[in-house]
Amino acid sequence: MSKLSLAYIFRHHQLLVDENLQLPQVEKLENDLSFSSGDQVIARDLLDEEQIPEGYQLVPIRQLISSWTRAQFEQASRAVQLLEWRRNHKFCSHCGHETEVHKTEYAMVCPACGYHQYPRVQPCIITVITRGEDEILLAKNANNKSNMYGLIAGFVEVGETLEEAVSRETLEEVGLKVKNIQYLASQPWPFPSNLMLAFKAEYESGEIVLQEEEISDAQFFKFDQLPETPFSGSIAHAMIDHVINAKKMP
């Protein structure tokens, strides 16, 4: 009898789980991605012909963040990113030949020219900005139709330090200068393959001027008069909790 593996089975950003949000146990297939040396944990995309087993359903992985432990969510997040990376690197970016999956490393190898392609992480900064003792800057994303206010965030550009990215994004999105930029924590964020790097900073100078394609509103809110903010489990939630309630960052 063959042994079963705990399996992360995805269709896009949805994961197969039972009604208690537990993973299925399946037999490992040849192209499955191994997560542990003994193949106890594997990941793959749901095959076209594969039926969803009874009692199981596909759930968007964003929904699991508040129900699962951080370790569980991070493993799922790693699985979905590695599968997506593998799908997007079927050909050599150097010579165009079809690639092969490396036997032991997370790498796609070109049999023609030997070029190895490895998964890349995209660093993003996210910043919680305070003014005085009791005000926090929150901004509404122009693409988000809800009433939720979040934090200033953006991709790190080539050749830039993380602190420079914090200053630049804040200036671009809301026209403010910040000071005393301090690192807080990080969180892998699989939409698609980001590493969120959390900072706090203090308001230094300037009036709020919105970058309208990105931000539809931004204001300094009193700590006791906050609008709707990001959900528990997100790094933005932990950052807001950290500055307002002096909670430790996870």
Binding site for Zn ion (CB under 5 A): 92, 94-95, 97, 110, 112-113, 115
For Zn ion, the closer of residues 97 and 247 by Cβ is 97
Instruction: Tell me whether strands 194-205 and 122-131 are parallel, antiparallel or unpaired.
Output: parallel
Nearer to Zn ion among residue 91 and residue 106 (C-beta): 91
Q: How far is the CB of 104 from Zn ion (least distance, A)?
A: 20
User: Could you tell me if 97 and 89 are in contact, meaning their C-beta atoms sit under 8 angstroms apart?
Assistant: no
Taking alpha carbons only, the member of 83, 118, 116, 119 closest to residue 11 is: 83
User: To 5 degrees, how large is the angle CA 44–CA 46–CA 51?
Assistant: 140
> Least distance from C-beta 110 to Zn ion, angstroms?
3
Shortest Cβ distance from residue 95 to Zn ion (Å)? 3
One-letter amino acid at 153 equals A
Between 105 and 134, CB nearer to Zn ion: 105
| Nearest approach, Cβ of residue 117 and Zn ion (Å) | 9
Indicate the residue among 97 and 179 with the shorter CB distance to Zn ion.
Answer: 97
- CA distance linking residue 59 with residue 166, whole number of Å: 34
How many other C-beta atoms are found inside a 10 Å radius of the C-beta of residue 208?
15
Minimal distance in Å, beta carbon 101 to Zn ion? 15
Number of C-beta neighbours around residue 250 at 10 A: 12
Residue closer to Zn ion by CB (options 28, 89) is 89
Token pair, residue 222, equals: 């009193």
Q: Output the CA torsion 166→168→170→173 (10° steps).
A: -140
